[in-house]
Amino acid sequence: MARLFGTDGVRGLANKTLTAPLAMKLGAAAATVLTSGSNPSGRRPLAIVGRDPRVSGEMLAAALSAGMASQGVDVLRVGVLPTPAVAFLTDDYGADMGVMISASHNPMPDNGIKFFAAGGTKLDDAVEKEIEHALHNLQETGPTGTGVGRVIEEAPDGLDRYLFHLSRAVGAKLDGIRVVVDCANGAASQAAPMAYAAAGADVVAIHNKPNSYNINDGCGSTHIDVLRAAVVEHGADLGLAHDGDADRCLAVDSEGNLIDGDQIMAILAVSMKDEGLLHHNTLVATVMSNLGLKLAMQRNGITLRTTKVGDRYVLADLNAGGYSLGGEQSGHVVIPDHATTGDGTLTGLYLMSRMAQTGKSLAELASVMKVLPQTLINVPVSNKAVIMDSPEVKAAIARAEEKLGETGRVLLRPSGTEELFRVMVEAADAESARKIAGELAAVVASV
Residues 6+ apart with CB under 8 A from 148: 69, 70, 72, 142
Neighbours of 443 (CB within 10 A): 21
247-268: burial string, b at 16+ Cβ within 10 Å, e else: bbbbbbbbebebbbbbbbbbbb
- Specify the 3-state DSSP secondary structure of 413: strand
- The amino acid at 187: A
- Specify the DSSP element, H or E, that contains 347: helix 344-358
Residues 6+ apart with CB under 8 A from 294: 304
Annotated active-site residue in 102, 104, 221, 271: 104
| 269: phi then psi, degrees, rounded to nearest 5 | -65, -45
221 is in an annotated binding site: no
- Specify the 3-state DSSP secondary structure of 51: strand
Distance from C-alpha of 340 to C-alpha of 320, rounded to nearest angstrom: 13
The residues pairing with 122 across neighbouring beta strands, listed in sequence order, are 116
Could you give the maximum distance between any two Cα atoms of the chain, in Å? 69
330 tagged catalytic = no
The one-character DSSP state at 14 is B
Distance from C-alpha of 145 to C-alpha of 319, rounded to nearest angstrom: 41
245 is in an annotated binding site: yes
Residue 83: name the closest of 309, 285, 311, 320 by CA.
311
Distance from C-alpha of 339 to C-alpha of 122, rounded to nearest angstrom: 11
92 is in an annotated binding site: no
- The amino acid at 295: L
Which strands form 420-426's sheet, in the order they lie side by side? 374-380, 420-426, 409-414
110 is in an annotated binding site: no
Q: Could you give the C-alpha distances from 296 to 222, 351, 370, in angstroms and in order? A: 25, 18, 7
The one-character DSSP state at 251 is E
The one-character DSSP state at 312 is H
Q: Could you give the C-alpha distances from 230 to 188, 195, 202, 253, in angstroms and in order? A: 18, 20, 14, 11
Annotated binding site: 104, 243, 245, 247
Annotated binding site for Mg(2+): 104, 243, 245, 247
Annotated catalytic residues are 104
